[in-house]
Amino acid sequence: MENKKDDFSEWYNEIIDLARLSDKRYNIKGMNVWLPYGLKMMHLIDDIIREYSEEKNIQEVSFPVLISRERLEVEFEHVKGFENEIYWVTHGGKDKLDIDLALRPTSESAMYTMFPLWIRSHSDLPFKIFQIVSVYRYETKHTRSFIRVREIHFYEAHTAHVDYEDAENQMREYLNIWEKVASDLCMDYSLDIRPDWDKFPGAKYSVAFDTPMPGFRSLQVGTIHEYGENFARDYNIKYEDEKGTLKYVNQTTFGLSERLLAAIIGIHGDDKGLVLPYKIAPVQVIIVPIAGENYDNILNYSREIMGEIKKFGVRADVDERDYTPGYKFNDWEMRGVPLRFEIGNRELNENTVTLSFRTQKKKIKIKREELSKIYDYLNTVNDDIKNKAKAFFEDNLVMETSFENLGTEKMVKAYWCGSRECSDKIENRFEKAALGRVYNNSDSGKCIVCGKGGKLSVFSRTY
C-alpha cells in the first residue's frame, strides 16, 4: 500500500480498491458501482443523519428522479447555476418527448411544484421534509471516487416557514444536526459563509462545512442554505396567516453527500488502511480464532463470544476463513474494524479474550464478564480517532497576516474585505479560493490583500 503522507492521491485510490468500497470500472465515467462494504458504510452514515433529522421532526419522503424542463426553468438563477451539468432525457423509446425531462441535479424544482398543493394555511407550517436519493450532475472535471462523481448519493432537507426569523431558527437547527453527525464521524470542520458569487443558485446565503484533507486541499462536506422568499415567489408557495392574509413562505435547505465518506477515509485512515468510527463500521468487532489442537472448541467459544456481544447491539463476526492469523489481522485492520478479539487455547482455558484496538498498538486481555463494557472499548477507539483528527485539523488550518505567507500549502484563515478583486488576486497567485467568512465570528482586521477593513475568512485549494 502507498504511504499516505508521501502520495495521498494514490493511497486514497488504493485503499478504496483494497477495501472494496466501490468499483470505478463501470463504463460511464463518474458513475461508480457501490460494493457491499462501501454501501454498508454509506447506509450507516445515512442512518445517523436520518436519526438526527427525525429527532427534529423532519420527515422522509421520496420524489421522482425526472423534472420537466418547464418546472426546472421557473427559477432562472437556479437553473443557470446548473445549466452545464444537467442530463436531459429527450426521447421515450423512439418517440421524441413533447417536453424535455431532466435527471434531478437537486430537487428544488421537483419539490416546490408540490409545496403549493400541501401548504395552504399557517397551521401547515413549519413544513419539513428530507430525502436520501441519487442526484445527477455532468461533472466535467477529473472525477474521483466519493469526491467528484456524476451520480451523487445525496441527503437533502427542505423546509418552509411563516417568516424569515423562523427560517433562521431552522438554519440553527441544521447546525445542531450537523454537529451531532460530525461528532459521530469524529470530524472537525470550518463553518464558512460562501461569497455571493459562490453561494447556491437562488439562495440569500449559504454556509458550507469545509475540512482540510491530506494532500493540502479542502473538501466541502455539506451546506445549509437560506432562501428567504426567493423560491416561494417563483413557485407561488403561499399560506394564509391568522388574519386571512396570503403570504409567501420562507425556505431553507440542508445538503450532505458521499463526500462524508471521502473525508472519513482521507482524514482517519493510515498506512494500514481504513480507520472507522464505530457507528459506521460494517463490522465493529471481528473475532479471530487461532488454530490449535482444540480448534473446534476454540471455534465454538468464539461463536459464543460473538453471540454475547451481539446482544448489546454490536455488529460482530467470526473470521473462519482458511487463512493465517497474520493475514486476517492485516485484512481487518485494512478494513478499519475498530476492535479485534483474538481467541486461542489460552483464552479458551482462561475464559478470556485478547483485545486489540485499531487505533493502538497494545493488546489487553479481558475476562468474559467484561464484555458488557464493549461500548467503553468502542468509545476508546472513537476518542483516539477524534484526538488525531483534531490535531490534524489544527495543524492544517493556520492563521496568516502576510500576503506572501498565503503560499503555504495549508488552509488559511486571514482577514479579507470580501471583494471579488482581492479574492481573485489570492486565487491567481496562490490557487486558493475564498471559502468565505467564518460563520458566527465578528472578528475584524485589515484585509490581507488591500488593507481595508475585513472579516476573518478562510482560503484553500479545493477538490
The rounded percent of the chain whose pLDDT value lies above 70 is 100
Question: 0.75 exceeded by the pTM?
Answer: yes
Q: Which of 117, 137, 135 is nearest to 127 (CA)?
A: 117
Within 13 Å and on the Cβ side, how many CA atoms surround 40? 14
The rounded percent of the chain whose pLDDT value lies above 90 is 94
**pLDDT category of residue 139 using cuts at 50, 70 and 90:** confident
pLDDT given for residue 26 in this prediction: 96
List, in sequence order, every beta strand (DSSP E) within 258-325. Answer: 285-289, 316-318
pLDDT given for residue 5 in this prediction: 87
Asked whether residue 283 carries a pLDDT value surpassing 80, the answer given is: yes
As given in the structure block, the three cell numbers for residue 310 are 451481539
Within 13 Å and on the Cβ side, how many CA atoms surround 137? 19
pLDDT, one tens digit per residue, over 160-189 is: 999 999 999 999 999 999 999 999 999 999
Contact of 459 with 434, CB cutoff 8 Å: yes
pLDDT, one tens digit per residue, over 45-63 is: 999 999 999 999 999 999 9
Asked whether residue 79 carries a pLDDT value surpassing 80, the answer given is: no
Q: Among the residues of 95-250, which ranges form H helices?
A: 108-118, 164-184, 230-235
Q: Which of 215, 217, 213 is nearest to 3 (CA)?
A: 215
Q: What are phi and psi of 11, to 5 degrees?
A: -60, -45
pLDDT given for residue 396 in this prediction: 97
Domains and CATH numbers, the chain: 8-268 (3.30.930.10), 285-377 (3.40.50.800), 397-460 (3.30.110.30)
pLDDT given for residue 292 in this prediction: 83
Q: How far apart are CA 450 and CA 452, in angstroms?
A: 6
- The partner residues of 421 in beta bridges, in order of sequence, read none
**pLDDT category of residue 43 using cuts at 50, 70 and 90:** very high
pLDDT given for residue 364 in this prediction: 97
pLDDT, one tens digit per residue, over 111-126 is: 999 999 999 999 999 9
The residue to which cell 446548473 is assigned: 82
pLDDT given for residue 16 in this prediction: 97
**Which helix (H) or strand (E) element contains residue 305?**
helix 295-310
Asked whether residue 80 carries a pLDDT value surpassing 80, the answer given is: no
Q: How far is CA 137 from the centre of its chain?
A: 18
